[in-house]
Amino acid sequence: MRDPFNRSAAIVGVSESECGRGVALTPLQHQAMAARKALDDAGLQKSDVDAVMTTDVIGLPSLMLAEYLAIRPRFTDTTVTGGSAFVLFVERAALAIAAGLCEVVLITYGSSLWSDRHRFSTEAVDPRMPSAQFEFPYGDLSPISAYSLAAMRHMHEYGTTSEQLAAVAVASRQWAMRNPGALLREPITVADVIDSPMVASPFHKLDCCLMTDGGGAVVVTSAERAKDLRRPPVYLLGSGFSTTHMTIPQMKDLTISGAVESGRLAFARAGLTPRDIDVVQIYDSFTFSVILALEDLGFCEKGRGGEFVEAGHIGPGGDLPTNTSGGGLSYTHPGALGIFLVIEAVRQLRGDCGERQVPDAQRALVHGIGGWLSAHATLVLAR
Protein backbone atom coordinates (compact mmCIF):
# COMPACT_ATOMS: atom_id res chain seq x y z
CA MET A 1 0.00 0.00 0.00
CA ARG A 2 1.28 3.46 -0.89
CA ASP A 3 1.75 6.18 1.71
CA PRO A 4 -1.65 7.92 1.88
CA PHE A 5 0.03 11.15 2.95
CA ASN A 6 3.07 12.99 1.61
CA ARG A 7 1.10 14.50 -1.31
CA SER A 8 -0.08 11.17 -2.71
CA ALA A 9 -3.74 12.27 -2.64
CA ALA A 10 -5.22 15.61 -3.63
CA ILE A 11 -8.46 17.55 -3.43
CA VAL A 12 -9.25 18.64 -6.97
CA GLY A 13 -12.80 19.98 -6.80
CA VAL A 14 -15.00 21.74 -4.24
CA SER A 15 -18.37 23.48 -4.27
CA GLU A 16 -21.54 24.21 -2.32
CA SER A 17 -25.19 24.01 -3.20
CA GLU A 18 -27.48 26.93 -2.38
CA CYS A 19 -26.84 27.76 1.27
CA GLY A 20 -29.20 29.89 3.32
CA ARG A 21 -32.62 29.75 4.88
CA GLY A 22 -35.75 28.45 3.24
CA VAL A 23 -33.90 26.94 0.26
CA ALA A 24 -36.43 24.74 -1.53
CA LEU A 25 -34.20 21.67 -1.90
CA THR A 26 -34.15 18.27 -0.25
CA PRO A 27 -30.90 16.95 1.30
CA LEU A 28 -30.31 14.75 -1.77
CA GLN A 29 -30.89 17.70 -4.09
CA HIS A 30 -28.37 19.76 -2.11
CA GLN A 31 -25.85 16.95 -2.52
CA ALA A 32 -26.55 16.52 -6.22
CA MET A 33 -26.17 20.25 -6.92
CA ALA A 34 -22.94 20.50 -4.95
CA ALA A 35 -21.59 17.31 -6.55
CA ARG A 36 -22.26 18.54 -10.08
CA LYS A 37 -20.52 21.85 -9.39
CA ALA A 38 -17.55 20.22 -7.60
CA LEU A 39 -16.99 17.76 -10.44
CA ASP A 40 -17.16 20.61 -12.93
CA ASP A 41 -14.66 22.52 -10.78
CA ALA A 42 -12.31 19.55 -11.10
CA GLY A 43 -12.94 19.01 -14.79
CA LEU A 44 -14.34 15.52 -14.16
CA GLN A 45 -17.52 13.73 -15.14
CA LYS A 46 -19.88 11.73 -12.98
CA SER A 47 -18.68 8.65 -14.84
CA ASP A 48 -15.18 9.21 -13.42
CA VAL A 49 -16.39 8.74 -9.83
CA ASP A 50 -15.83 5.26 -8.39
CA ALA A 51 -16.35 5.99 -4.66
CA VAL A 52 -18.88 8.01 -2.69
CA MET A 53 -18.75 9.10 0.94
CA THR A 54 -21.55 10.72 2.89
CA THR A 55 -23.30 10.16 6.18
CA ASP A 56 -26.48 10.56 8.17
CA VAL A 57 -27.76 9.08 11.41
CA ILE A 58 -30.37 6.90 9.69
CA GLY A 59 -30.76 4.79 6.57
CA LEU A 60 -28.16 3.84 3.95
CA PRO A 61 -26.99 7.29 2.88
CA SER A 62 -24.11 6.35 0.59
CA LEU A 63 -26.26 3.85 -1.32
CA MET A 64 -29.08 6.36 -1.55
CA LEU A 65 -26.71 9.02 -2.89
CA ALA A 66 -25.13 6.66 -5.42
CA GLU A 67 -28.54 5.62 -6.71
CA TYR A 68 -29.75 9.22 -6.89
CA LEU A 69 -26.69 10.24 -8.90
CA ALA A 70 -26.70 7.02 -11.00
CA ILE A 71 -23.18 6.10 -9.81
CA ARG A 72 -22.12 2.50 -9.21
CA PRO A 73 -19.24 2.90 -6.74
CA ARG A 74 -16.51 0.40 -6.04
CA PHE A 75 -16.14 1.82 -2.54
CA THR A 76 -18.35 3.72 -0.06
CA ASP A 77 -18.03 5.08 3.46
CA THR A 78 -20.79 6.26 5.79
CA THR A 79 -18.88 6.69 9.05
CA VAL A 80 -20.98 8.69 11.53
CA THR A 81 -18.86 10.99 13.72
CA GLY A 82 -21.07 14.07 13.61
CA GLY A 83 -19.60 17.28 12.27
CA SER A 84 -16.12 15.80 12.09
CA ALA A 85 -17.15 13.10 9.60
CA PHE A 86 -16.64 15.15 6.46
CA VAL A 87 -13.11 16.07 7.55
CA LEU A 88 -12.42 12.43 8.40
CA PHE A 89 -13.68 11.38 4.95
CA VAL A 90 -10.74 13.15 3.30
CA GLU A 91 -8.40 10.86 5.26
CA ARG A 92 -10.54 7.83 4.39
CA ALA A 93 -10.50 8.81 0.72
CA ALA A 94 -6.70 9.04 0.74
CA LEU A 95 -6.45 5.63 2.42
CA ALA A 96 -8.82 4.00 -0.08
CA ILE A 97 -6.95 5.53 -3.03
CA ALA A 98 -3.59 4.44 -1.62
CA ALA A 99 -4.93 0.90 -1.18
CA GLY A 100 -6.07 0.79 -4.80
CA LEU A 101 -9.74 0.47 -3.88
CA CYS A 102 -10.77 3.47 -5.95
CA GLU A 103 -9.38 6.48 -7.78
CA VAL A 104 -11.93 9.33 -7.67
CA VAL A 105 -13.84 9.88 -4.43
CA LEU A 106 -16.90 12.13 -4.18
CA ILE A 107 -17.64 13.37 -0.64
CA THR A 108 -21.00 15.10 -0.15
CA TYR A 109 -23.26 16.59 2.49
CA GLY A 110 -26.75 18.06 2.25
CA SER A 111 -29.29 19.26 4.78
CA SER A 112 -32.61 21.09 4.91
CA LEU A 113 -32.16 21.76 8.63
CA TRP A 114 -33.65 25.25 8.61
CA SER A 115 -36.64 24.27 6.52
CA ASP A 116 -37.22 21.20 8.70
CA ARG A 117 -36.57 22.95 12.02
CA HIS A 118 -40.06 22.07 13.30
CA ARG A 119 -38.83 18.52 13.89
CA PHE A 120 -36.89 19.61 16.97
CA SER A 121 -40.10 20.36 18.83
CA THR A 122 -40.97 16.66 18.85
CA GLU A 123 -37.56 15.19 19.59
CA ALA A 124 -37.36 12.74 22.47
CA VAL A 125 -34.48 10.93 24.12
CA ASP A 126 -32.67 8.87 21.49
CA PRO A 127 -32.87 5.21 22.61
CA ARG A 128 -29.46 4.60 20.98
CA MET A 129 -27.90 6.97 23.51
CA PRO A 130 -29.16 5.49 26.80
CA SER A 131 -27.09 7.75 29.06
CA ALA A 132 -29.22 10.68 27.87
CA GLN A 133 -32.05 9.43 30.08
CA PHE A 134 -30.11 10.80 33.04
CA GLU A 135 -29.63 14.24 31.45
CA PHE A 136 -32.75 15.21 29.48
CA PRO A 137 -35.09 15.21 32.53
CA TYR A 138 -32.96 17.96 34.05
CA GLY A 139 -33.32 20.34 31.12
CA ASP A 140 -30.37 19.25 29.01
CA LEU A 141 -30.57 20.81 25.54
CA SER A 142 -27.39 19.39 24.10
CA PRO A 143 -25.32 20.08 22.17
CA ILE A 144 -25.57 23.58 23.60
CA SER A 145 -25.79 22.36 27.20
CA ALA A 146 -22.74 20.15 26.75
CA TYR A 147 -20.60 22.88 25.21
CA SER A 148 -21.74 25.43 27.79
CA LEU A 149 -20.70 23.03 30.57
CA ALA A 150 -17.20 22.75 29.10
CA ALA A 151 -17.01 26.51 28.55
CA MET A 152 -18.00 27.25 32.16
CA ARG A 153 -15.31 24.88 33.42
CA HIS A 154 -12.70 26.57 31.22
CA MET A 155 -13.77 29.96 32.58
CA HIS A 156 -13.45 28.62 36.12
CA GLU A 157 -10.03 27.04 35.56
CA TYR A 158 -8.38 29.74 33.46
CA GLY A 159 -10.35 32.94 33.86
CA THR A 160 -11.65 32.95 30.29
CA THR A 161 -14.26 35.71 29.96
CA SER A 162 -17.48 36.24 28.03
CA GLU A 163 -15.75 39.11 26.25
CA GLN A 164 -13.07 36.72 25.01
CA LEU A 165 -15.73 34.30 23.74
CA ALA A 166 -17.37 37.24 22.00
CA ALA A 167 -14.08 38.12 20.28
CA VAL A 168 -14.40 34.88 18.29
CA ALA A 169 -17.84 35.89 17.02
CA VAL A 170 -16.58 39.35 16.10
CA ALA A 171 -13.62 37.92 14.14
CA SER A 172 -15.90 35.48 12.30
CA ARG A 173 -18.24 38.31 11.36
CA GLN A 174 -15.32 40.40 10.11
CA TRP A 175 -14.42 37.57 7.75
CA ALA A 176 -18.07 37.09 6.73
CA MET A 177 -18.27 40.74 5.75
CA ARG A 178 -15.69 39.86 3.07
CA ASN A 179 -17.65 36.81 1.87
CA PRO A 180 -20.55 37.58 -0.50
CA GLY A 181 -22.03 34.15 0.26
CA ALA A 182 -22.22 34.58 4.03
CA LEU A 183 -25.67 34.71 5.61
CA LEU A 184 -24.77 37.39 8.18
CA ARG A 185 -22.59 40.28 7.01
CA GLU A 186 -23.57 43.16 9.29
CA PRO A 187 -20.71 44.27 11.59
CA ILE A 188 -20.95 43.37 15.26
CA THR A 189 -18.99 44.31 18.37
CA VAL A 190 -18.12 42.47 21.56
CA ALA A 191 -20.86 44.47 23.26
CA ASP A 192 -23.38 43.30 20.65
CA VAL A 193 -22.53 39.67 21.46
CA ILE A 194 -22.78 40.22 25.22
CA ASP A 195 -26.08 42.08 24.81
CA SER A 196 -27.67 39.39 22.63
CA PRO A 197 -30.10 37.06 24.46
CA MET A 198 -28.64 34.46 26.81
CA VAL A 199 -29.26 30.94 25.51
CA ALA A 200 -27.26 28.68 27.85
CA SER A 201 -24.77 30.39 30.13
CA PRO A 202 -22.17 31.52 29.15
CA PHE A 203 -23.43 31.44 25.56
CA HIS A 204 -25.41 34.35 24.19
CA LYS A 205 -27.26 34.07 20.90
CA LEU A 206 -24.30 35.42 18.92
CA ASP A 207 -21.99 32.87 20.57
CA CYS A 208 -23.97 30.12 18.83
CA CYS A 209 -23.77 28.83 15.26
CA LEU A 210 -26.41 29.52 12.64
CA MET A 211 -29.11 27.11 11.54
CA THR A 212 -29.45 27.00 7.74
CA ASP A 213 -30.07 24.79 4.72
CA GLY A 214 -27.21 23.85 2.42
CA GLY A 215 -24.82 21.29 1.05
CA GLY A 216 -21.27 20.81 -0.12
CA ALA A 217 -19.08 18.45 -2.10
CA VAL A 218 -15.37 17.63 -2.26
CA VAL A 219 -13.59 15.53 -4.90
CA VAL A 220 -10.41 13.62 -3.93
CA THR A 221 -8.17 11.68 -6.30
CA SER A 222 -4.61 10.44 -6.65
CA ALA A 223 -1.75 12.87 -7.17
CA GLU A 224 -1.12 11.28 -10.55
CA ARG A 225 -4.69 11.84 -11.76
CA ALA A 226 -4.71 15.34 -10.29
CA LYS A 227 -1.87 16.54 -12.54
CA ASP A 228 -4.09 16.66 -15.62
CA LEU A 229 -7.23 18.19 -14.14
CA ARG A 230 -8.73 21.66 -14.38
CA ARG A 231 -7.72 23.29 -11.10
CA PRO A 232 -4.46 23.29 -9.09
CA PRO A 233 -4.50 20.32 -6.69
CA VAL A 234 -4.48 20.76 -2.92
CA TYR A 235 -2.54 17.93 -1.33
CA LEU A 236 -3.13 16.03 1.90
CA LEU A 237 0.03 16.14 4.02
CA GLY A 238 -1.29 14.63 7.23
CA SER A 239 -4.41 13.80 9.19
CA GLY A 240 -5.48 12.58 12.59
CA PHE A 241 -8.61 11.39 14.36
CA SER A 242 -9.51 10.98 18.02
CA THR A 243 -12.65 10.16 19.95
CA THR A 244 -12.73 10.29 23.75
CA HIS A 245 -16.41 9.94 24.76
CA MET A 246 -19.96 10.24 23.49
CA THR A 247 -21.94 12.14 26.14
CA ILE A 248 -20.40 15.06 27.99
CA PRO A 249 -20.44 13.47 31.51
CA GLN A 250 -17.92 10.93 30.20
CA MET A 251 -15.43 13.61 29.09
CA LYS A 252 -12.50 13.08 31.42
CA ASP A 253 -11.42 16.73 31.54
CA LEU A 254 -13.83 19.35 30.22
CA THR A 255 -10.93 21.66 29.35
CA ILE A 256 -8.94 19.16 27.22
CA SER A 257 -10.40 17.70 24.04
CA GLY A 258 -9.51 14.98 21.56
CA ALA A 259 -7.97 17.69 19.36
CA VAL A 260 -4.76 17.15 21.32
CA GLU A 261 -4.38 13.68 19.81
CA SER A 262 -5.85 14.32 16.37
CA GLY A 263 -3.65 17.38 15.97
CA ARG A 264 -0.56 15.55 17.17
CA LEU A 265 -1.13 12.80 14.61
CA ALA A 266 -1.82 15.21 11.76
CA PHE A 267 1.27 17.32 12.41
CA ALA A 268 3.49 14.25 12.89
CA ARG A 269 2.33 12.69 9.62
CA ALA A 270 2.82 16.00 7.81
CA GLY A 271 6.23 16.61 9.38
CA LEU A 272 5.09 20.11 10.37
CA THR A 273 4.23 22.15 13.47
CA PRO A 274 1.56 24.78 14.18
CA ARG A 275 4.10 27.46 13.24
CA ASP A 276 4.03 26.20 9.64
CA ILE A 277 0.30 26.84 9.15
CA ASP A 278 -0.92 29.91 7.25
CA VAL A 279 -4.70 29.59 7.59
CA VAL A 280 -6.97 27.63 9.95
CA GLN A 281 -10.54 26.37 9.66
CA ILE A 282 -12.08 25.17 12.95
CA TYR A 283 -15.61 23.91 13.54
CA ASP A 284 -17.20 26.86 15.35
CA SER A 285 -20.45 25.40 16.62
CA PHE A 286 -19.94 27.83 19.50
CA THR A 287 -17.37 30.52 20.15
CA PHE A 288 -15.77 28.36 22.83
CA SER A 289 -15.10 25.57 20.33
CA VAL A 290 -12.53 27.77 18.58
CA ILE A 291 -10.74 28.76 21.79
CA LEU A 292 -10.51 25.17 23.00
CA ALA A 293 -9.30 23.83 19.63
CA LEU A 294 -6.66 26.57 19.23
CA GLU A 295 -5.21 25.53 22.58
CA ASP A 296 -5.40 21.78 22.04
CA LEU A 297 -3.98 21.95 18.51
CA GLY A 298 -0.96 23.84 19.83
CA PHE A 299 -1.53 27.32 18.42
CA CYS A 300 -1.41 28.83 21.91
CA GLU A 301 -0.83 27.65 25.48
CA LYS A 302 -3.52 25.81 27.42
CA GLY A 303 -5.69 28.36 29.17
CA ARG A 304 -4.49 31.25 26.99
CA GLY A 305 -6.92 30.80 24.13
CA GLY A 306 -9.17 33.59 25.35
CA GLU A 307 -6.29 36.04 25.46
CA PHE A 308 -5.12 34.82 22.05
CA VAL A 309 -8.39 35.56 20.26
CA GLU A 310 -8.92 38.80 22.19
CA ALA A 311 -5.56 40.03 20.90
CA GLY A 312 -6.83 39.84 17.32
CA HIS A 313 -4.75 36.93 16.06
CA ILE A 314 -7.59 35.12 14.25
CA GLY A 315 -9.36 37.96 12.46
CA PRO A 316 -8.50 39.83 9.25
CA GLY A 317 -4.97 41.17 9.56
CA GLY A 318 -4.10 38.71 12.32
CA ASP A 319 -1.19 36.29 12.13
CA LEU A 320 -3.42 33.18 12.29
CA PRO A 321 -6.39 33.80 9.97
CA THR A 322 -9.15 31.51 11.21
CA ASN A 323 -12.57 30.62 9.78
CA THR A 324 -12.08 32.94 6.86
CA SER A 325 -15.49 32.22 5.30
CA GLY A 326 -17.26 33.45 8.43
CA GLY A 327 -17.66 29.89 9.69
CA GLY A 328 -20.70 28.43 11.36
CA LEU A 329 -21.19 31.61 13.35
CA SER A 330 -21.77 33.90 10.35
CA TYR A 331 -21.45 32.03 7.02
CA THR A 332 -23.62 28.89 7.14
CA HIS A 333 -24.41 25.89 9.33
CA PRO A 334 -26.83 23.33 7.88
CA GLY A 335 -26.51 20.86 10.76
CA ALA A 336 -22.88 19.89 10.11
CA LEU A 337 -20.11 22.27 9.09
CA GLY A 338 -17.13 20.01 8.43
CA ILE A 339 -17.33 19.85 4.64
CA PHE A 340 -17.50 23.65 4.39
CA LEU A 341 -14.26 23.93 6.38
CA VAL A 342 -12.52 21.74 3.80
CA ILE A 343 -14.01 23.76 0.94
CA GLU A 344 -12.81 27.07 2.39
CA ALA A 345 -9.31 25.72 3.09
CA VAL A 346 -9.01 24.51 -0.51
CA ARG A 347 -10.17 27.85 -1.87
CA GLN A 348 -7.69 29.73 0.30
CA LEU A 349 -4.82 27.53 -0.89
CA ARG A 350 -5.89 28.00 -4.51
CA GLY A 351 -6.14 31.77 -4.07
CA ASP A 352 -9.85 31.87 -4.95
CA CYS A 353 -11.18 33.92 -2.02
CA GLY A 354 -11.18 37.47 -3.32
CA GLU A 355 -11.46 40.10 -0.61
CA ARG A 356 -10.98 37.58 2.19
CA GLN A 357 -7.95 35.89 0.59
CA VAL A 358 -5.03 35.24 2.94
CA PRO A 359 -1.91 36.42 1.08
CA ASP A 360 0.35 33.62 -0.17
CA ALA A 361 -1.41 30.89 1.83
CA GLN A 362 0.69 27.73 1.42
CA ARG A 363 -0.58 25.41 4.16
CA ALA A 364 -3.93 25.08 5.91
CA LEU A 365 -5.22 23.20 8.92
CA VAL A 366 -8.82 21.97 9.03
CA HIS A 367 -10.33 20.74 12.29
CA GLY A 368 -13.76 19.15 12.57
CA ILE A 369 -15.60 18.45 15.82
CA GLY A 370 -18.48 16.00 16.21
CA GLY A 371 -20.96 15.25 18.96
CA TRP A 372 -20.48 16.76 22.40
CA LEU A 373 -16.78 17.57 21.82
CA SER A 374 -16.70 13.83 21.20
CA ALA A 375 -14.94 13.20 17.87
CA HIS A 376 -12.09 15.24 16.39
CA ALA A 377 -10.63 15.08 12.87
CA THR A 378 -7.67 17.19 11.73
CA LEU A 379 -6.21 17.70 8.25
CA VAL A 380 -3.05 19.45 7.13
CA LEU A 381 -3.35 20.55 3.50
CA ALA A 382 -0.92 22.26 1.13
CA ARG A 383 -0.99 23.72 -2.36
Q: At what angle do helices 61-69 and 27-42 cross, to 10 degrees?
A: 60
In a domain, 53, yes or no: yes
In a domain, 167, yes or no: no
- pLDDT, average across residues 171-188: 98
pLDDT at residue 120 tops 70: no
The predicted pLDDT at position 124 comes to 47
For residue 327, give the CATH number of its domain: 3.40.47.10
Range of the domain at 237: 9-116+209-382
Amino acid making up residue 233: P
In a domain, 232, yes or no: yes
The predicted pLDDT at position 276 comes to 98
Tell me how many helices (H) and strands (E) the chain has.
Answer: 12, 11
Active site residue 331: yes
Q: Are strands 198-200 and 203-204 parallel, antiparallel or unpaired?
A: antiparallel
In a domain, 40, yes or no: yes
**CB 256 within 8 Å of CB 301:** no
- Of the pLDDT bands very low, low, confident and very high (cuts 50, 70, 90), residue 59 is confident
Amino acid making up residue 195: D
Q: Are strands 104-111 and 51-53 parallel, antiparallel or unpaired?
A: parallel
Is the pTM higher than 0.85?
A: yes
- Of the pLDDT bands very low, low, confident and very high (cuts 50, 70, 90), residue 142 is confident
The predicted pLDDT at position 129 comes to 63
- pLDDT, average across residues 159-169: 98
Q: Within 10 A of 115 (CB to CB), how many other CB atoms are there?
A: 16
In a domain, 326, yes or no: yes
Domain count, the chain: 1
Q: Are strands 279-282 and 363-370 parallel, antiparallel or unpaired?
A: parallel
The predicted pLDDT at position 2 comes to 72
- pLDDT, average across residues 205-231: 97
What's phi and psi for 257, nearest 5 deg? Answer: -110, 175
Mean pLDDT score of the chain: 94
- Of the pLDDT bands very low, low, confident and very high (cuts 50, 70, 90), residue 130 is low
Q: Concatenate the DSSP letters of all residues of 339-356 into one string.
A: HHHHHHHHHHHHT--GGG
Of the listed 147, 158, 235, 331, which one is catalytic? 331
In a domain, 358, yes or no: yes
pLDDT at residue 154 tops 80: yes
In a domain, 128, yes or no: no
Alpha helices (H) along 271-362: 287-296, 305-310, 327-330, 338-350
The predicted pLDDT at position 122 comes to 41
In a domain, 26, yes or no: yes
Distant-in-sequence, close-in-space partners of 332: CB < 8 Å, separation ≥ 6: 16, 19, 20, 181, 182, 183, 210, 212, 214, 340
Q: What is the pLDDT of residues 273-330, one digit of tens each?
A: 999 999 999 999 999 999 999 999 999 999 999 999 999 999 999 999 999 999 999 9
**What is the Cα 4 distance to its own chain's centre?**
21
Q: At what angle do helices 85-98 and 338-350 cross, to 10 degrees?
A: 70
Active site residue 147: no
SS (H, E, C) 108-166: EEEECCCCCHHHHHHCCCCCCCHHHHHCHHHCCCCCHHHHHHHHHHHHHHHCCCHHHHH
Q: 138, exposed or middle or buried, with CB in 10 Å at 0-12, 13-18, 19+?
A: exposed
pLDDT at residue 119 tops 50: no
